[in-house]
Amino acid sequence: MRQNIVITGASSGLGWEMARQFAAMGRNLALCARRTERLEALQQELKTSYPDIQVHVRALDVNDHEQVFAVFEAFAQDFGGRIDRVIVNAGMGKGASLGTGHFEANRQTAETNFVAALAQCEAALTQFRAQNHGHLVTISSVSAVRGFRRAMTVYAATKAALTSLSEGIRVDLLNTPIKVTTVHPGYIQSEINDRVDKVPFMVDTETGCRAIIKAIEKEGDNAFVPGWPWAWMRWVLRWAPLRMLRSLG
């Protein structure tokens, strides 16, 4: 069992709810994000509800790459030198159609969702290689399957890159005690999409995270969640004409 779990981007959305559900399963948690007041409130909630687990929190801006390595190392020490699972969850969804004057938002999304994710994977695997075991989980997206329009253009590209990065790591670590799982959520309510008016097959955060955690616990290579409809919709998206993709962005 993966007892000691690090979750980045845990101050809201999927990270927050995953922490709550893993705590209910009796897992020890190390939670990090920029908004420490929210982390501390979550820490208090979890320690009150589940007094037998450890809950450690630290401030982390994942775009401060040196800080990523320092925080992960500190969490390892909190757990007596052993991290069992790292969930690379921190991300953002800012952006707009390219060429419309929103380069900074697109750049921030690209750097946070890919370069910062690379730093998190490096920091996690530094620990895992040293202890010769561990489970790296990257939170990608169904949008990684194809290109999307408008605000989703750069976001989808970063998630495709993250999926490819994760697969490369998986190949590199074949036949070792280190496992790599990539989870591709469909539309799940969270802060990243709270201004989206209408999208298909949206589920609430609790339901979505329950599906994510089920996939994580199986430790497979890739999972599209919730299984209905995304396990088969990914194939539809892969071959869909461009005009169909316009309705999903």
Residue 221's nearest CA partner among 176, 182, 178 is 182
Q: Tell me: domain 4-248, CATH 3.40.50.720, correct? A: yes
pLDDT of residue 190: 77
Specify the pTM. Answer: 0.94
**Any long-range contacts for 160-169 (C-beta under 8 Å, 24+ apart)?**
161/114, 162/88, 162/113, 162/114, 162/117, 162/138, 163/138, 163/222, 165/114, 165/117, 165/118, 165/121, 165/138, 166/121, 166/136, 166/138, 166/140, 167/221, 169/121, 169/125, 169/136
pLDDT of residue 111: 98
User: What is the Cα–Cα distance from 87 to 18, expressed in whole angstroms?
Assistant: 10
pLDDT of residue 233: 83
Between strands 85-88 and 28-33, the pairing is unpaired
pLDDT in single tens digits along all 249 residues of the chain: 999 999 999 999 999 999 999 999 999 999 999 999 999 999 999 999 999 999 999 999 999 999 999 999 999 999 999 999 999 999 999 999 999 999 999 999 999 999 999 999 999 999 999 999 999 999 999 999 998 889 899 999 999 999 999 999 999 999 999 999 999 999 999 765 555 556 778 999 999 999 999 999 999 999 999 999 888 888 888 777 777 766 655
Cβ contacts of residue 6 below 8 Å, gap of 6+? 29, 30, 31, 32, 72, 75, 83, 85, 86, 87, 124
Active site residues: 155
C-alpha of 248 from chain center? 21
pLDDT of residue 12: 95
pLDDT of residue 198: 64
The 10s digit of each residue's pLDDT in 62-103 is 999 999 999 999 999 999 999 999 999 999 999 999 999 999
pLDDT of residue 199: 72
Helix axis angle, 116-131 to 65-78, nearest 10°:
30
